[in-house]
Amino acid sequence: MSVGIRHDDLRKRNRAMVISAVRRAGQPSRTEIAATTGLSHSTISTISSDLIAEGILAESKGSEPALLKRGRPQVGLALDPGAATIVAVVLSLNSLSAAVIDYAGNTIVAETRRLVTQRMQAEALVEECIGMVRRLTERCGEAAGTVLRIAVAVQGVTDSGSRKLLWSPITPHDDIPFADRLEREFGVPVTVENDCNMIAEALRWRDPSRYRDDFIAILLSHGIGMGLVVKGELFTGTQSSGAEFGHMIHRPDGALCRCGRRGCIEAYAGNYAIWRNARLGDENAEPLADLSDEDIIALADAARDHDGPEREAFRKAGEAIGFGLGSMFALFDPAPLAFVGVGATAFDVMEPYVRAAIAKTAGGTHSRAISFDTMPNEVPLIREGCMMRALLYVDDEIFAPGTALRRAQAGVA
């Protein structure tokens, strides 16, 4: 028995396909959109005309030189930057940044501040976020379109509804309701996301040929985090944001972790753990509150230069990561991996130990075929993931035919 599709649902789906094709390709022609979506030229012509009239798309000249083409020059379609605006906020250890971004994905204005997050009250953290969003949107003034979404990425565990920070090593406070407070303040929908999940989201858009159905993003920073995509879906838990790779147990009753437990992967592979093993040689020493990127880079240089406590510290880090990954690969096949963060600058030192550890596990059958990418700066990826999460929400809001994008709505002031 065939199942019919309502006409409105079909129009909504087709509009979604056209907007998605334009967002991925940048400035495709109608012919290129037809090839990507499988829609007819007449359908694309009708949809694009509607979207242009609504201020969602705009025409632009094609990128190919006209002399190389026969017939009429190709006219590209692009997202109209002024159609809407989103705000991306990133809160991590001792740092807060935010950016106002237009509908085409261009940053209009951005700000970064250093905070001592571990000494601040929960309400003060929320107020810092509110204050930064307000300052940025006021600076934009009329240059920005209507703010339709705010996405907040935080270092720590968020709830499955993307509403609040449940737990984080960057603050002693739990259950911080960022979304509720920001929504009350600005009157627009807010989501609160795990930072590593946003890294994975960004990778899907940056390189969909490699990072598509199954892949893993691991943050190597002061802490260890993971964004996991399985069968094309970002993995989250039923109650929380999911993959807390850094707090899987590597050695029961082992090294002291920032979370207060012992033996976590992070307690061997986090920046503070590597520094602790290299400089103090005491796994029971209280984890440092923060380390500079230069500290880790210097340790890696020393490990490359000679055999000593620095190289031994990176060996322990590589083993912890490798055994953790091997245990995961025992549950499902190995997948492409991206190591992100300042710790990735030292991955060449750790990689032999990572691979050796994976090979010793049940998941190491295909360890030689596992490929690694390294990216030393996580902040642009986290912000990009927030941006895409927010913009895709806005796309979904305007899929419905006849929706007035510039509707009367409480703006961010």
pLDDT at 413 over 50: no
Q: What is the mean pLDDT of the chain?
A: 90
Here the tokens at position 352 are 């032999």
Question: Judging by beta carbons within 10 Å of its beta carbon (0-12, 13-18, 19+), is residue 232 exposed, middle or buried?
Answer: exposed
* Confidence band, pLDDT 50/70/90 cuts, at residue 268: very high
Which residues lie closer than 8 Å to 381 by C-beta, 6 or more apart?
A: 198, 199, 202, 203, 340, 375
Highest mean pLDDT out of 135-144, 241-250, 391-400: 241-250
Mean pLDDT of 198-215: 94
Nearest C-alpha neighbor of 335 from the set 251, 243, 255: 243
Distance CA 385, CA 387 (A): 5
Question: Judging by beta carbons within 10 Å of its beta carbon (0-12, 13-18, 19+), is residue 393 exposed, middle or buried?
Answer: middle
Higher pLDDT, 26 or 354: 354
Mean pLDDT of 268-296: 95
Here the tokens at position 394 are 């806005």
Pairing between strand 75-79 and 233-234?
Answer: unpaired
The angle at the Cα of 335, spanning 330 to 340, to the nearest 5 degrees, equals: 115
| pLDDT at res. 64 | 47
Per-residue pLDDT tens digits for 10-68: 888 899 999 999 999 989 999 999 999 999 999 999 999 999 999 999 998 654 444 44
Mean pLDDT of 145-164: 93
pLDDT at 238 over 90: no
| Residues found in the chain | 413
* Confidence band, pLDDT 50/70/90 cuts, at residue 407: very low
pLDDT at 404 over 60: no
Least confident of 66-70, 123-127, 197-201, 313-317: 66-70
| pLDDT at res. 61 | 62
Per-residue pLDDT tens digits for 85-120: 999 999 999 999 999 999 999 999 999 999 999 999
Least confident of 78-87, 323-332, 372-381, 403-412: 403-412
Residue 74 is classified by DSSP as: P
Mean pLDDT of 109-136: 97
| pLDDT at res. 412 | 41
Least confident of 33-42, 210-219, 393-402: 393-402
| pLDDT at res. 5 | 63
| pLDDT at res. 399 | 55
| pLDDT at res. 408 | 38
pLDDT at 1 over 50: no
Per-residue pLDDT tens digits for 186-196: 999 999 999 99
Q: Which residue stretches of 207-287 are H helix? A: 266-269, 271-279
Mean pLDDT of 274-284: 97
The alpha carbon torsion through 186, 192, 198, 202 (nearest 10 deg) reads -30
Distance CA 47, CA 22 (A): 12
